Amino acid sequence: MALSTAEAEYIVVEHGCTQIIWLKHQLLDFCVRLSKVPLYCDNTSAINLTKNSIQHFKTKHIEIRHSFICDHVQKGDCEIKFVKTENQLADLFTKPLARDSFNKLRTKLGILDIKNVV
């Protein structure tokens, strides 16, 4: 259980990084090499934790198993980038949104409103 939103976002970024590493290894079978795959996060505290592996007193409760992401960021496997919350496309699938926010993100993904297509 996460004790803060920064920790929760950090853990989610870590899981995303593991998926990136897995995909990069799969693509090697097809002779496709990728470097610094972007991973977008809307929490600056979580992003700062991925860039600085020093354990701060406020984050000492985060388990060591989640800190491997710092190594992969330094190696260049993935690059954590900031995205404003209102532009976070994943929120469309993970949060209840107001109609305007929902429609904005839906349009950015290229999902059409079926009522307007017919």
Tokens matching residue 24: 């990069």
What tens digit of pLDDT does each residue of 101-118 get? 888 888 888 887 777 665
According to DSSP, residue 65 is labeled G
Burial class (CB in 10 A: 0-12, 13-18, 19+), 67: middle
Higher per-residue confidence, 4 vs 75:
75
pLDDT for 61 equals: 57
Q: Calculate what percentage of the chain has a pLDDT beyond 90.
A: 26
Burial class (CB in 10 A: 0-12, 13-18, 19+), 37: middle
At what angle are helices 44-51 and 68-75 packed, to 10 degrees?
Answer: 80
What's the whole-model pTM score? 0.73
